[in-house]
Amino acid sequence: MAEDIVTRCALPTNARVFGPQSNLQSPHRDGAALLVVRDGTSKDDRPEKGNQSVSSGLHLRLPIIGIAPDPARHLPQALLRTVEHKLTLPAFDESALTLVIEAVAGTTPTTHIDPDLVRLIELDDLPLAIRSYRTADQCIEALDEIVRRKGEHLGSGPSLEELEGYGKAKDWGLELARDLADLKAGRLVWEEVDHKGLLLSGPTGVGKTQFARALAKSARVPLVATSVAQWNAASYLSGTLQAIRNAFAQARRQAPCILFIDEIDGISDRAQLRGEYVEYWSQIVNLLLELLAGVDERSGVVVIAATNHPDRIDPAIKRAGRLDREIVIEKPGVQALARIFRYHLGAELLADTDLTQLAIASQGATGADIEAIVRRAKGAARRERRPLAISDLLGEIRSGQPSIPAEHRWRIAVHEVGHAVVARELQTGAILGLSIHDLGGTLHIENNIAGTATLARLKAEMAVLLAGRAAERLVLGEASIGSGMLPTSDLGRATGLACAIEARCGMGQFGSVYIEIANDFANIPGLLTAVRKQLHEAEERAADILIDRMATLRTVAAELERRGYLSGDEIERIIAVDDARAQAAAHMETAIPARQRSGKMS
């Protein structure tokens, strides 16, 4: 567009216009000019390209005009060194849009023009919306519709503030949204923005793409969404490379904006490349690294990439100045799941229903799973011409599977509360909650084991892990197999800690030694005996604690069995009430004999 305006308005009619690739070896008639137009999308849009044509044009006394969004990075260096006049076009704003509409439609708009809408307008959008047969306000409406299709943040969907279960990713995004607001307002420069690249990883369905959309909505900036699959849809390598350049170029044109790259693990790690595809993929990786590294060249462009397999990504992509922050989006916990259910149900449906039971039953689900569950349940109720019921949602969650029998719920409740009571007593981490669901039970706890853990800390952790077995033994007479069977089970993890104490941490009877343990550690003389001793002591320690807190164990387990979920605060309140009752009872037991003795003396 700028090239057309310069040709029509700045040069003589029928002037012969040459580009930087033209042959300028011989003089030309008056009216000729050299026009260098670059938008940064081509690999040749660099200062080191086109300098010979500029030199030739100067010797032939041709007027030379350069047009670029960022002249210092896009135009030939020779042109910048010899330039005599610089003209900076102001940004297209509300007043300019009003003048265009008035010139075409003949009237001035009366409706408010959103500044964010104007910022997304490209000149090519104007003739699509502004027509002489439309009123000024109708032109605004048409332009709004055209631009909204490009700027996803202006459309429907949740903002980042409304999303649940995103943890550190949400914190990062909200901080970025504030920075981008300051950037647009001129209170911050791009160099001061520290959130410029993010690698989002996590299992399928946790909402990585939704995160990018919601962030763009909260920050009120455009979202340019692409993927490695789209890049690789080109038939040839040149097409793939151009698709990558185009994605970054589009983002630069709409900056400040979010450039979201999905399936980034589709670009291979160069260290793992083999055979005939090495050169092909190396060029793709190298171009992506070049574009990511050019933070200054992509001013205002925040790059967020998503992957299900962070281990498959070339390490150079995650180096400083590129995607140097990695955040894993975990599956949401019980409280987050309840809020996700409420979001998808809306404020009216099941308004007075506690959705915790749905969250407990759907543990392990993702936000996408919850959306599908609610959609299917609504559909079932709609087809039967009746209101949505909680049973519809539970039916979709369980997919026809029966709920846990009552006798199993009690055992699970006793087991999980046993973990919580011992963890609370030994202070091994903050207890977030307890739950019973269709797959069993869960203690939600913030575990604080780290490289600074001592022998006492490891032994305390073993006691917590084996407290479920101890609780079952004390209350029900025997332990179930649920605490074992798998390496990730309570017994499996406790055994792993005991092995580490004895053979890898230098804290057991073998002394300061590291022993590499295969699957069958019993083949190492004396190790099995030492491990069994560690496990026995840990379980007995847990049992001793539970015997002293038996009333608490039973009270909390009964409440957990009834409700299915208890938050950490609710557990503390129940224990506080139970302790108060115990203290009152103890006070009465000591007070009665004293009064009796007083009566006898009188």
Active site residues: 416
**Helices within 186-236 (DSSP H only):** 208-219, 228-231
Residue (of 377, 374, 387) closest to 339 by Cα position: 374
Could you tell me the CA-to-CA distances from 140 to 7, 143, 145 in Å, in that order? 29, 5, 9
* Helical H segments across 34-158, by residue range: 51-59, 71-74, 77-82, 94-105, 115-120, 126-129, 136-148
| Contact predicate 7/35, CB 8 Å | yes
- How would you class 589 by CB atoms within 10 Å of its CB: exposed for 0-12, middle for 13-18, buried for 19 or more? exposed
Asked whether 556 and 477 are in contact (CB, 8 A), the reply is no
Beta strands in 228-283 (DSSP E): 257-262
Question: Is the sign of the CA dihedral 354, 358, 361, 365 positive or negative?
Answer: negative
Sign of the dihedral through C-alpha 298, 303, 309, 311: positive
Q: Which amino acid is at 117?
A: L
CB burial readout 530-566, b (16+ within 10 A) else e: bbeebbeebbebbbebbeebeebbbbbbebbbebbbb
Residue 48: CB partners within 8 Å, gap ≥ 6? 76, 77
Cα 34 from Cα 53, distance rounded (Å): 9
Query: Which tokens hold the place of 466?
Result: 């084996």
H or E element at residue 33: strand 33-37
What's the CA gap between 473 and 292, in Å, rounded?
A: 58
Could you tell me the CA-to-CA distances from 568 to 413, 435, 490, 576 in Å, in that order?
15, 11, 21, 12
Strand pairing class (440-447; 429-437): antiparallel
**Judging by DSSP bridges, how do beta strands 257-262 and 565-567 pair with one another?**
unpaired
Any idea which residue has 């739950």 for tokens?
A: 435
Cis peptide before 71 (omega within 30 of 0): no
What is the DSSP pairing of strand 429-437 with strand 565-567?
antiparallel
CA dist., res. 242 & res. 250, Å (int): 12
Contacts of 595 (CB under 8 A, 6+ apart): none
Residue from 184, 187, 180 nearest 160 by CA: 180
Q: How far apart are CA 505 and CA 512, in angstroms?
A: 7
Distance in angstroms (rounded) separating the CA atoms of residues 245 and 80: 24
